[in-house]
Structure 1
Amino acid sequence: MRVNIKANRWFGWLLLLWASYWFDEVYQLSTGSVIQISSYWPVAWIQFLAPPLFFISVCHYTVPAYKWSKDVLKFLILPLLYLFLIVINQLTDTDLYYFQMLLILINALTFTILSLVRIRKHQDNIQQYASSTQEINLNWLEYIIIAMIALVVGIGVFNLVFFDVPLNVFMNAAVLAVVLFITYNALKQTEIFPKNDADVKVVADLSEEEKSKEQKRVLLSDDKVLMIKQKLDDLMNEESPYLDSELNLIKLAQLLDISSHQLSYVINKGYNENFFQFVNRFRVEKAKLMLADNENNKLSILGVAFESGFSSKTSFNTTFKKMTELTPSEYKKKCSSL
């Protein structure tokens, strides 16, 4: 199982920064002093970089060959402003604590919301490319974002209202739980996009923000679309490539001896579906036949899922119900009663 090395590396830096928050707790226990933002201003500034790092790691998960360096300025605007406030606070007697806390909240909420938007776009984009998305849909990152927003708001309000009281053990336990959740999911996250450079370019092109405009451009004549549709229908019905749980746009295009862009265009225009919907429609039809075979079908629901081309029972149940408005078990029971 391949892992997303670049994204996980950035997550590693994020976890390292989060670990620095416990430095404050140790410092307080050893010195007895009350900590407001951080015991040492360079540590406070480095901790401020955690939300941008989170966003960069999300970008590496969602965009093939992402280059964060081109966006470096937008990542540094808020950190530089925060550094300016820290320096002013250190050099003068001005109390800027509330301004610093406000900037911390703005920084965290900005990058977590941007991360959420990026993941939502990713979930739409991968359906243009992959036939099985459960392992690569990054839902676990959405859960982290929700937890992070709750933590940021909770810690921010706690510090603003009870600024002379240290964070309690429950808040620290919540942060630790999020960190452990991130670590577990980051380590088991599989590579989302192909390694081959040419294939990566195909996926990147499909994921472009201008994708909707590109789809409006006529890539093929209507006659060509109809011809490819016929070949595609014959291939799906006779050779059943959808039974391969790892089938993707590139593999199917190669079987038809056409480009991935042409196949995507034919599926979008000819069937009014994305690749995920197109392939899984065949899988669901196959599953329906197997579930309705009351006399010969000895397979469990999980067995039917695998035999139909699904990679897991969860994805099978979710997709089946979305397309039939019934769970596989409900459909099988309905067929048995006929």
Structure 2
Amino acid sequence: MSEINSLVAFHAFSSGALLLLGSLLLVGFDKVNIKASRWLGAFYLILACSFIQLFLEGFQIGNNFLIHLLELPRWTLLPCLYMAVTYYVSPFSAKKEWILHFVPFLLFLLFSLVYLIPSIFNEQTRLPVLPVWIIFVIRYFFYVQIVFYWLVCYALLRDHQRNVRMIASFTEKIDLEWLKYLLISVLFLILIRVLSIIEVAVTDYTAILYFLGTILLAYATLTQKTVYTIQTDQPPEKEETTAKKTVSERLTAEQVKELKCIVMRKTTDEKLYLDPGLTLLALSDKTGISTHELSYILNNGIGKSFYRYINELRTEEAKILLLSADTKHLDILGVAIRAGFTSKTTFYTTFKKVTNLTPKEYIKANSAID
């Protein structure tokens, strides 16, 4: 008995890890795609409730009402994951129909309030006998739901990765490969659940297996760059003030003007800004100008930081693509990627700052002119 209890304790480890991870995502730890991260955070918190329920049942503590409350949100588990995936692959789309995915949960909640919860508080309550098909649906709907939504999520991710390979040569930061590993981790948890139902020998070790699956989920989530890497307008540089002073003493106004022309011509003629991996160091290599001198020329000659200069050029490219007949098959995310953006939020923010319009408003305004 003590051995079984010690294994059941792993459910507490799983729920603790998921509660921490879900809380970080819900409070906006990921500043790049807030809607997606919050839906993923909700998924983790609900999954944590399931492990808390397993922990309480394993140690036979907690009353029936508490167990039922922890079980109630289970039907929202995979819809939350689906919403997270849809916002990751298409952050600019409005998901007005999201409530439809939670209709089964609302129906189950109503059923609980009317039928199950009264019987928990009063065991003498005489309840009408339910039709067999209703009992069947309540018992097995959750398992059908998790398989269905997992397949849909995987299909969304697969389509996204296929699309980005068609429109961008550098896909490492935009192919959402980490999300594939997250879905594999979720599939691992699903398989454990199935095996625990059909194979008694596995049941004693499910707590450990669930914990391993939880570690895989956490690793997949935390290795996505957007959780902790935020693209700022101008990243800080060490000894920036000293470097600028040294460069200003070394370059004359005429040299700054000449080098400015070289930078602008090189960047625009070769469309270097379309490379999503372009950095100050990479542009320095392309132009043959040291990074300190290049930074000084951009800030003092052009009057813009590196990221602002490059992102404004990408915005001009996006304006052309949004109105081009050749790119009508692309959604706004596809246009952003083709224009060289890697951060969805940066594209939207920069575009609005340059044009005072959102991409969709820009298309509508120019379509009206035509």
TM-score (structure 1 length as normaliser): 0.52
Letter in 1 for 2:94: K
> Contact 1:4/1:191 (CA < 8 Å) preserved in 2?
no
Offset of residue 54 of structure 1: 0.6
Correspondence 1:121-270 to 2 at 5 A: 121-127=159-165, 130-159=168-197, 162=200, 168-186=206-224, 188-189=226-227, 239=270, 241=272, 244-246=275-277, 251=313, 254=316, 259-261=320-322, 265=326
Unaligned runs of 5+ in 1: 196-234, 269-273, 281-338
- Matches of 2:188 and 2:228, distance apart in 1: 27
Aligned residue for 1:133, secondary structure, equals: coil
Aligned residue for 2:223, secondary structure, equals: helix
Distance 1:191 1:136, change over 3 A: farther
Structure 1 partner of 2:97 = 71
Which stretch of the first structure deviates more once superposed, 83-92 or 117-126?
83-92
Structure 1 partner of 2:298 = none
Offset of residue 84 of structure 1: 6.0
Unaligned runs of 5+ in 2: 1-29, 120-126, 234-265, 279-309, 341-370
Distance 1:152 1:17, change over 3 A: same
Correspondence 1:54-93 to 2 at 5 A: 54-68=81-95, 70-83=96-109, 88=115, 91=119, 92=127
- Matches of 1:245 and 1:44, distance apart in 2: 45
- Matches of 1:261 and 1:44, distance apart in 2: 47
Distance 1:80 1:253, change over 3 A: closer
> Contact 2:170/2:277 (CA < 8 Å) preserved in 1?
yes
Structure 1 partner of 2:47 = 18
Offset of residue 184 of structure 1: 1.0
Describe the superposition over 1:218-263 as per-residue Cα deviations: whole angstroms up to 9, x where unpaired.
xxxxxxxxxxxxxxxxx999636278444799946836x9711466
Aligned residue for 1:159, secondary structure, equals: helix
- Percent same amino acid among aligned pairs? 17
Distance 1:26 1:238, change over 3 A: closer
**Cα root mean square deviation, aligned:** 4.8
Larger radius of gyration: 2
- Matches of 1:238 and 1:54, distance apart in 2: 43
Describe the superposition over 1:97-119 as per-residue Cα deviations: whole angstroms up to 9, x where unpaired.
76444211111112111111221
- Matches of 1:57 and 1:186, distance apart in 2: 14
Aligned pairs, how many?
232
TM-score (structure 2 length as normaliser): 0.48
Distance 1:97 1:155, change over 3 A: farther
- Matches of 1:158 and 1:171, distance apart in 2: 10
Distance 1:242 1:169, change over 3 A: same
Distance 1:10 1:33, change over 3 A: closer
1:6 pairs with 2:35: yes
Distance 1:84 1:278, change over 3 A: closer
Distance 1:151 1:61, change over 3 A: same
